[in-house]
Amino acid sequence: MSIRVNGLRINSATWSVPGTGATVGIFALGNSTTTRDKYTFAGDVNSTATASSVACSESSATGNGTVGIFALGRAPSVATSTRDKYTYAGDVNSSAAASSAVGRSGSAAGNSTVGIFVIGYNTGTTTTRNKYTYSGDTNASATASSYSAYSGSATGTSTVGIFVPGLNGSNVSSTIREKYTYAGDVNSSATAASVASGSGSAISNGTVGIFNLGYTPPTIVTRNKYTYVGDVNSSATSASVADSNTAATGNDTAGIFAFLGTTRDKYTFAGDVNSSATAASASHYAGAACSNGITGVNA
């Protein structure tokens, strides 16, 4: 069956409300478990999702409107190259093409075609990045970071990913940010953060990216707002908890930040508002999260 909206005929089977993007976010809770939660944005509802293939933590994730790709990180006690593919339709977990090297405490950002994964840390820090192509489930190399680090964060738009490298080999944080441009596989500098930090998390609505800065040391509640047009950094409303090793995902209107324990924050882009979100089902530590498509990012 089809319906007409403003003179356009739309198949009702594929009808969606413009400007909402993702309907669910999948949180891998980390903490050396296989547990995943499904967060439904409409109604602020938490439920279970199909578990990961291996107990893990220090993970990273990105995806598109169909699948989320999870780099398992530490699984459960050593770094791994294993990746899981979570398919939203049917709540299905399967294997995905492995990374080129073992690593943990990486970060990831992507658009609807590719995901860019920072490998992170194995026996030391690295500048290595991988490019995962959703069509064909293929892994390839991507232009490296200019900064050898781990425990960073990343988010972006359909054209660029903004990467916070995190901590160097001496566990020293920095304000450095890098811009990865998908067209041409190009790495360049981006406007720095307001405070040196690592072990944070980030989410984007396609216009701005919100970075939970994490650990300086110490852990802090500070958030930065990165505006893609003009490459501008400014302050954003703080988190409710000073924490590190967090995870975040969202939709067009809000980002959900998961802290250690079960606490979550909801950051609403319109109005720069922070509020509480429904808690996780179990304690979170160094997990990862992605959602099923954000307009202007990966939808």
pLDDT in tens, 253-291: 999 999 999 999 999 999 999 999 999 999 999 999 999
At the top level of CATH, the class of 23-291 is: mainly beta
Q: What is the pLDDT of residue 21?
A: 78
Say if residues 221 and 239 touch (Cβ distance below 8 Å): yes
Say if residues 65 and 112 touch (Cβ distance below 8 Å): yes
pLDDT tens for each residue of 76-116: 999 999 999 999 999 999 999 999 999 999 999 999 999 99
Domain layout of the chain by residue ranges:
23-291
Under the banding of pLDDT at 50, 70 and 90, the label for residue 20 is low
pLDDT tens for each residue of 27-64: 999 999 999 999 999 999 999 999 999 999 999 999 99
pLDDT tens for each residue of 131-159: 999 999 999 999 999 999 999 999 999 99
- Asked whether residue 2 carries a pLDDT value surpassing 90, the answer given is no
- What is the reported pTM? 0.93
Strands 8-11 and 264-268: unpaired
- Asked whether residue 188 carries a pLDDT value surpassing 70, the answer given is yes
pLDDT tens for each residue of 198-251: 999 999 999 999 999 999 999 999 999 999 999 999 999 999 999 999 999 999
